[in-house]
Amino acid sequence: MQLSKDEFHTYLLLSAAHADMEEITDEERNFILSQVTDELYNKVKRIFDADTDVERIERIQENKALHAASSEELNKLLKEIRYFLSTDGKFTSAEEAYYIHMKHILT
């Protein structure tokens, strides 16, 4: 399923929010909502929640070719993911492993 650029961006942030295998926190949700509308957030959250782990990776791979084809776009996304993962002031080993895995998927 193809996502719009904003949907893809939101999907990536939701994926990052689940890096620590915990439910999304209010802080993480508010960060995402500072960048997108409630309607877009809720739409993408429904898609994300319905996807299995394998489907999430496939969806990210499919949409990266559409919305992050250049090195510049990929680097921008990776920087944002890293920033998002550290917004709570800590960068756990699970979050670091997620970041490395996402870097591999996106590049």
Listed in sequence order, the DSSP H helices in the chain are 5-17, 26-33, 38-50, 53-67, 71-85, 93-106
For the chain, the domains span 5-106
Report the predicted TM-score, pTM, of the whole model to 2 decimal places: 0.89
**Of 6, 20, 98, nearest in space to 57 by CA:** 98
74 vs 63: CA distance, rounded Å: 12
Q: What is the pLDDT of residues 34-48, one digit of tens each?
A: 999 999 999 999 999
Q: What is the pLDDT of residues 91-106, one digit of tens each?
A: 888 889 999 999 998 8
